[in-house]
Amino acid sequence: MMSYKNLGLSNTKKMFENAMAGEYAVPAYNFNNMEQIQAIITACVESQSPVILQVSKGARSYANETLLKFMGQGAIEMMKEMAKQKGLKEIPIALHLDHGDSFETCKACIDSGFSSVMIDGSHFPYEENIALTKKVVDYAHEFNVTVEGELGVLAGVEDDVVAEESTYTKPEEVVDFVSRTGVDSLAISIGTSHGANKFTPEQCTKNEDGVFVPPPLKFKILEAIEEQLPGFPIVLHGSSSVPLEAVKIINENGGAIKDAVGLPETELKNATKSAVCKVNIDSDGRLWMTATLRKVFAESPSEFDPRKYLGPARSALIEMYKHKNKNVLGSSNRV
């Protein structure tokens, strides 16, 4: 059993209290490899933003769960060293399991030093979701680990999360769910979606430039949830904007990403003024990393040094994360 406190990590309780008071959202960025975690830490230290490092079940399988734990610990040490060198404040960092699918997965993460876990029982019948979520909460709270639950289903595909259709969160269920499970935060479905193709062309309209514009988020549902759960931390999943520039670079350099549509950043910025205090972003990082790699390979086809293509990809990620912190989530200079 490894306590997250011994690794220097923070849970999300204070992060969310500060975010709601300051009307901003804490970024939750997924990572799978060294370059991604380096970029996240660099961007968040330099922009002085708290951050949640997210690990999916797929990432645990890909990177090895033991290595991931020590990557989290290494991120803390990197953050401290960087902050000292630059004369900046140290930032709070949480290590979070994204879309935990079982009690066993959540327990394994808690035991290995994660400071926060998500148990996603949203695809189960309501009472099963409550029972599973409460079981995780009861165990996690023994070790002061925070737990995120989910009501409603997001459409789309990302890692092990697959759903053809979304089911909006029912505001009339949230009080019962939160009170019976004891969760610390609640992921809701109000129109966000997983992956780079969040909406079909048929669901969108086109602006004067011919760009697909997705349907707006269901802010009325969010407002109804806030009325039922005043001051309770709300989480948005599937919140990548799917930047057209990155998609264009990918497709111009041999890629084939068709009809990619994300969430307008203005929608996310508006959401942060509410009880939404955690916003999950994964696909945007994947797109910019892929765009940079494809561009390097197209322009330098003889290149075989990983540092020469992963380095530029890391730099692109740093700029993207800084932009999200400063201009979208409002989390810059909040430590």
Query: Which are the catalytic amino acids?
Result: 98
Give the E-state strand segments of 211-321 in sequence order. 212-213, 234-236, 276-281
Distances in whole angstroms, Cα of residue 267 to Cα of each of 22, 133, 236, 272: 18, 29, 12, 9
Tell me the residue length of the chain.
335
Q: Which of 203, 218, 227, 225 is nearest to 151 (CA)?
A: 225
Which distant-in-sequence residues (6+ apart) come within 8 Å of 213 by Cβ? 204, 205, 206, 207, 264
CA torsion, points 160, 274, 284, 100, in degrees to nearest 10?
Answer: -20
CB 257 within 8 A of CB 212: no
End-to-end alpha-carbon separation of the chain, Å?
Answer: 30
Percent of the chain that is helix, strand, coil (3-state, to 5): 50, 15, 35
